[in-house]
């Protein structure tokens, strides 16, 4: 009875292991050791050992009984406490998660009353120390849930409030993108093994990795600590797998075929047969010891070979271009990693990653194949992490990374382009050819130390980006805009580009920059129940105050600003000032958690803070840089919003001699001029919520979230015509007054409000699930998203940033439901569904006429107060994975896998046409199965061998 009673004391004393977020790729173990009466025990030795690799570290409890073991690679650990006079205790199978702090308390019995006690740990349930909002996606979910395309980022859509869309940039047109905080996926900071994995041109994820190389990830969507920077919408921290003491490996092949698919809605509407579809996705991994308990390796490779089709219907305009066309896609991914425990206190990790792909750019049901592009990408990254425990339990984490990204999109034709209100597009894409090259060198160092109840942390980060180059040679053929869905309809605009002298050429924009960040934070345990997170961060980027003196747009605006001719012009206030970098980016942050019952069963959390993002060049200075550094620009323009006429009064037709050039002077005109004082965008965020356990394995979580964005990069065109007459600035801008250029300024605003309710069950070997509902509202003066640039559609170009202009963003959805689960009923079977629902998102209705005679044929209907005033369709998708595991011999196991995506074959229409002059007004132009629209019901079989 005595032994049972003491065992009960130990079980009660081992508090539920609860993770709170911490920086980097490693985790932290901390807790408190007391005796049977609850009194603190100083001097207790706590040793942790990684079960799979033999990695080992230890710490000693302080005068308050608190211990802390930092710098732990993810995985399962054995934790042992020893002290003279007390019985030893061992806790087995304790999970340490990426970028998190796991808390475990021990209650020791006097030696002689009992032998050593061994207890198996339970999985984390509630985060008792995290004051922000987010979720850890575990290896169980990564390995078992259905992932369309096996892109790990898809699993971010399991997190409450997060949607899944496609990357909006053409360089990554087949890449999915998680969307959080009302954004389109560009305002998320991606960290892979602690290294920057962001595209500084357009934002979002750069390099992809084999799914078998992903250990787990932590997606913090709101209100994270000061150690995290360059994101105002969320931080996704990923850690790749490492080798273990056992030689382990895998090989897999997934197969799709036309016979397993449904016909797409576009194919049905166009009355064409089901298009060809075949896909192979295969690869494997291998990891093991180089020196047992000391040095390990891990390798992973994955290849995608996909051949699908796109049905094209030009709505009777160009029947000779209609048909079904091939969409080939190829991708290769590789990861190699070595880990080495230099000493018990020094752990080294070195990883190399490679990724390349080729795909089609710009395919759609209304775009002829000649207007597509051939898109090729190549990515490399080399990452080194060294974490060292110093005297007194201090931890230093050093990270260095080099990364490289190259993209090239070539044109399919050089035919003149024609655009129709229905969205039909023929001729050369005006975005081709183009290329992007990025190179980054990153150094980061974080230092952590304890002072009583204070866990202090300070760090610095430096990124040198000597190469951020963009090349365009676009639109060197005339581009025509039709007013009606007829080849003989009036044409409202003709433009084309070229170099000085009228010859062919291109433009190159070079945007080298340096990114600096530093922070200081304090996690203060005010009481055993109340913890405060207090911190401040500073970020600075050089390179945005670049030389624009050769850009006529900038030169004209600067001269007008200095002369006081832009006084009162909203959006152009900074022109006339000397160029300067944004240096006042101080971001204070404060949060709290309150463990109401002291046992992790009810935790209240909240806080507020400021979060700066990187001013992505595409939304801020990209085209202004090109305008300043090249001699290539618009050399011809003629427009008439009522229709261009020939001298005899007839409508001008494509192929006839060009009307007189309206550009004066006739040197190349440039489209953009950036403010001399571009700012780094930021959001002020606040949250309040709670988590409550329901028994041992279940919990509910509630969060209320608010974010207000400011200084967002926008690109409005303000030089409109005044009632059909001269352009607004024609008399004060002598070089560019005849063109409707864009002013790249930091004037955008946004608001995001949401409440979220989640219900989850931790994995117990049989069942795990996560269900959430989010009610949200997202508005901005930028119609595309809270993290992206504005389009040409304005309510009032004379006051583009008035309160009335802030309307729903493209990704604004009132309701979101995310459901996922993994169920293993026995017999080697695993069933794993994922369901995602999003209510209607908005689109903009325009009259298609120039009602106010400002020279733009996209006026909003009378009485309309904002863009995005109409709503499209709901989105829903159910994916399902069923697998059966067979034991072959020894450790060799075989998995037979069947997966279905979009099981219910939801149509998921999109691309709604808001032009009231179009024959397809108010109708969707794309459906599931079309390029970048998700997929119709698709089946997939897989075979996987593990040893």
Report pLDDT for 503. Answer: 44
Residue 288 CA to residue 297 CA, distance in Å, equals 6
Residue 362 CA to residue 374 CA, distance in Å, equals 9
What is the residue-wise DSSP string for 199-254?
A: -TTT-SB-----GGGEEEEEEEEE---TT--S-SSEEEEEEE----SS-EEEEEEE
Residue 348: strand pairing partners: 340, 386
* Residue length of the chain: 947
Distances in whole angstroms, Cα of residue 863 to Cα of each of 778, 847, 859, 917, 921: 22, 12, 11, 18, 19
* pTM score, whole prediction: 0.90
Q: Is 734 left (phi over 0), alpha (psi -120 to 50) or beta?
A: alpha
In terms of Cβ atoms closer than 10 Å to its own Cβ (0-12, 13-18, 19+), residue 504 is exposed
What is the residue-wise DSSP string for 392-444?
A: GG-EEEEEEEEEEEEEEEEES--PPEEE-TTS-EESS-TT-SEEEEEEEEEEE
User: Helices 552-562 and 622-629: crossing angle, nearest 10°?
Assistant: 100
CB 409 within 8 A of CB 372: no
β strands within 666-725, DSSP E: 672-674, 682-694, 698-714
Q: Is 922 left (phi over 0), alpha (psi -120 to 50) or beta?
A: left
Residue 287: strand pairing partners: 248, 298
Q: Mapping DSSP to helix (H, G, I), strand (E, B) and coil, where does residue 695 land? A: coil
Residue 102 CA to residue 124 CA, distance in Å, equals 8
Residue 218 CA to residue 446 CA, distance in Å, equals 19
What is the residue-wise DSSP string for 861-906?
A: PTT--SS--EE---EEEEEEEEEEEEEEETTEEEEEEEEEESTT--
Report pLDDT for 440. Answer: 97
Strands 479-482 and 491-499: antiparallel
In terms of Cβ atoms closer than 10 Å to its own Cβ (0-12, 13-18, 19+), residue 57 is buried
The answer to whether the bond into 233 is cis (omega within 30° of 0) is: no
Residue 678 CA to residue 540 CA, distance in Å, equals 12
Residue 87 CA to residue 90 CA, distance in Å, equals 10
Residue 599 CA to residue 231 CA, distance in Å, equals 33
Across the chain, mean pLDDT equals: 88
In terms of Cβ atoms closer than 10 Å to its own Cβ (0-12, 13-18, 19+), residue 282 is middle
250: closest CA among 940, 899, 894, 898? 894
Q: Mapping DSSP to helix (H, G, I), strand (E, B) and coil, where does residue 29 land? A: strand
Residue 146 CA to residue 256 CA, distance in Å, equals 14
Residue 415 contacts by C-beta under 8 Å, 6 or more apart in sequence?
A: 370, 426, 427, 428, 477
493: closest CA among 478, 504, 507, 505? 478
Backbone phi and psi for residue 561, each to the nearest 5 degrees, phi listed first: -65, -40
Report pLDDT for 132. Answer: 83
Low-confidence ranges of the chain (pLDDT < 70): 1-24, 113-115, 122-124, 170, 474-476, 499-506, 665-670, 783-793, 803-804
Element (H, E) at 808: strand 807-808
Residue 195 CA to residue 197 CA, distance in Å, equals 6
Distances in whole angstroms, Cα of residue 121 to Cα of each of 11, 17, 578, 719: 10, 8, 62, 66
In terms of Cβ atoms closer than 10 Å to its own Cβ (0-12, 13-18, 19+), residue 947 is middle
CB 378 within 8 A of CB 330: no
The answer to whether the bond into 433 is cis (omega within 30° of 0) is: yes
Strand order in the sheet with 479-482: 425-426, 417-419, 479-482, 491-499, 632-639
Cα 99–Cα 101–Cα 104 angle in degrees, nearest 5: 150
CB 919 within 8 A of CB 315: yes
Distances in whole angstroms, Cα of residue 649 to Cα of each of 317, 481, 487, 493, 643: 25, 19, 18, 17, 11
CB 282 within 8 A of CB 313: no
Residue 800 CA to residue 717 CA, distance in Å, equals 9
Element (H, E) at 599: none
The DSSP letter of residue 170 is G
Report pLDDT for 666. Answer: 54
Residue 368 CA to residue 324 CA, distance in Å, equals 10
CB 205 within 8 A of CB 190: yes
Residue 498 CA to residue 658 CA, distance in Å, equals 15
Element (H, E) at 557: helix 552-562
149: closest CA among 924, 665, 700, 899? 899
CB 166 within 8 A of CB 249: no
431: closest CA among 392, 470, 484, 386? 470
Report pLDDT for 668. Answer: 62
Residue 932 CA to residue 939 CA, distance in Å, equals 18
The DSSP letter of residue 697 is T
3-state secondary structure 783-795: CCCCCCCCCCCCC
């Amino acid at each position: 009875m005595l032994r049972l009673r003491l065992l009960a004391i130990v079980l009660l004393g081992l508090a539920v292991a609860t993770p709170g977020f911490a920086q980097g790729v490693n985790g932290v173990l901390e807790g408190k050791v007391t005796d049977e009466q609850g009194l603190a025990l100083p001097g207790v030795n706590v040793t942790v050992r990684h079960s799979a690799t033999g990695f080992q570290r230890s710490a000693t409890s302080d005068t308050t009984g608190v211990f802390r073991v930092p710098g732990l690679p993810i995985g399962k650990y054995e934790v042992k406490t020893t002290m003279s006079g007390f019985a030893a205790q061992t806790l087995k199978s304790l999970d340490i998660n990426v970028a998190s702090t796991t808390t475990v308390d021990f209650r020791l019995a006097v030696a002689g009353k009992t032998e050593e006690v061994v207890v198996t740990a339970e999985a984390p349930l509630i985060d008792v120390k995290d004051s922000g909002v987010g979720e850890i996606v575990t290896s169980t979910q990564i390995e078992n849930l259905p992932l369309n395309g096996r892109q790990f980022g898809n699993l971010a859509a399991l997190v409450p409030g997060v949607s899944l869309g496609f990357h909006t940039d053409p360089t990554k047109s087949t890449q999915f993108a998680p969307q959080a905080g009302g954004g389109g996926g560009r305002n998320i900071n991606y960290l892979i093994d602690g290294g920057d994995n962001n595209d500084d041109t357009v934002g979002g994820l750069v390099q992809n990795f084999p799914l078998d190389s992903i250990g787990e990830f932590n997606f913090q969507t709101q209100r994270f600590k000061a150690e995290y920077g360059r994101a105002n919408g969320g931080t996704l921290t990923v850690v790749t797998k490492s080798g273990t003491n056992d030689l382990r490996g895998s090989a897999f092949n997934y197969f799709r075929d036309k016979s397993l698919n449904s016909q797409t809605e576009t194919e049905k509407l166009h009355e064409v047969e089901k298009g060809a579809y075949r896909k192979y996705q295969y690869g494997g991994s291998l990891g093991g010891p180089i020196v047992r308990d000391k040095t390990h390796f891990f390798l992973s490779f994955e290849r995608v070979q996909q051949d699908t089709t796109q049905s094209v219907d030009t709505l009777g305009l160009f029947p000779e271009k209609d048909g079904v066309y091939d969409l080939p896609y190829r991708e290769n991914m590789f990861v190699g990693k070595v880990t080495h425990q230099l000493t018990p206190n020094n752990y080294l990790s070195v990883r190399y990653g490679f990724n390349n792909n080729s795909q089609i750019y710009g395919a759609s049901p209304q775009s002829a194949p000649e207007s597509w592009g051939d898109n090729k990408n190549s990515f490399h990254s080399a990452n080194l992490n060294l974490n060292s425990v110093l005297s007194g339990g201090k931890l230093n984490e050093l990270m260095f990374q080099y990364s490289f990204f190259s993209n090239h999109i070539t044109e399919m034709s050089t035919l003149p382009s024609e655009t129709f209100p229905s969205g039909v597009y023929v001729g050369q894409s005006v975005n081709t050819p183009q290329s992007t090259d990025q190179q980054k060198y990153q150094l980061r160092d974080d230092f952590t130390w304890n002072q009583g109840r204070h866990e202090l942390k300070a760090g610095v980060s430096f990124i040198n980006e000597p190469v951020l180059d963009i090349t365009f040679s676009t639109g060197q053929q005339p581009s025509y805009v039709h007013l009606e869905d007829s080849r003989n309809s009036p044409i409202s605009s003709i433009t084309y580009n070229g170099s000085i002298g009228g010859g062919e050429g291109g433009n190159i924009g070079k945007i080298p920059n340096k990114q600096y960040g530093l922070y200081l934070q304090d996690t203060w345990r005010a009481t055993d129940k109340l913890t405060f997170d207090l911190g401040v961060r500073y970020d600075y980027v050089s390179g945005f105050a670049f030389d624009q003196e050769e850009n006529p747009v900038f030169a004209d605006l600067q001269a007008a600003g200095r002369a006081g001719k832009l006084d009162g012009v909203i959006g152009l206030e900074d022109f006339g000032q000397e160029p300067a970098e944004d240096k006042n980016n101080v971001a204070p942050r404060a949060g709290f958690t309150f463990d109401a019952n002291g046992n992790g069963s009810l935790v209240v959390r909240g806080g507020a803070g400021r979060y700066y993002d990187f001013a992505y060049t595409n939304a801020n200075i990209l085209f202004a840089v090109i305008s300043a550094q090249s001699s290539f620009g618009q050399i011809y323009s003629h427009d008439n919003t009522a229709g261009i006429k020939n001298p005899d009064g007839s409508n001008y037709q494509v192929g006839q001699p060009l009307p007189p050039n309206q550009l004066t002077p006739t040197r190349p005109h440039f489209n953009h001029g950036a403010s001399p004082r571009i700012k780094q965008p930021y959001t002020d965020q606040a949250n309040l919520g709670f988590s409550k356990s329901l028994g041992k394995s279940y919990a509910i979580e509630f969060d209320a979230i608010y974010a207000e964005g400011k200084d967002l990069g926008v690109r409005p065109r303000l030089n409109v015509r005044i009632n059909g007459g001269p352009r607004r600035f024609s008399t004060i801008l002598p070089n560019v007054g005849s063109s409707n250029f864009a002013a790249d300024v930091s004037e955008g605003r946004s608001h995001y409000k949401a409440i979220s309710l989640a219900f989850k069950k931790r994995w117990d070997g049989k069942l795990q699930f996560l269900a959430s509902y989010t009610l949200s509202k997202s508005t901005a003066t930028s119609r595309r998203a809270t993290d992206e640039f504005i389009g040409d559609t304005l309510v009032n170009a004379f006051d583009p940033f008035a309160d009335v202009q802030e309307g729903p963003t493209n990704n604004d959805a009132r309701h979101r439901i995310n459901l996922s689960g993994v169920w293993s009923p026995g017999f080697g079977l695993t069933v794993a569904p994922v369901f995602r629902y999003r209510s209607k998102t908005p689109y903009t209705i325009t009259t298609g006429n120039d009602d106010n005679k400002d020279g733009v044929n996209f006026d909003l209907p009378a009485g309309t107060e904002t863009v995005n005033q109409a709503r499209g369709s709901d989105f829903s998708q159910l994916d399902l994975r069923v697998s059966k595991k067979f034991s072959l011999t020894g450790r060799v196991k075989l998995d037979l896998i069947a997966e279905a995506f979009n099981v219910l074959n939801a149509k998921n229409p999109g691309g709604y046409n808001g032009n009231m002059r179009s024959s397809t007004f108010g109708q969707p132009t794309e459906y599931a199965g079309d390029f970048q629209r998700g997929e119709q019901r698709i089946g997939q079989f897989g075979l996987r061998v593990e040893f």
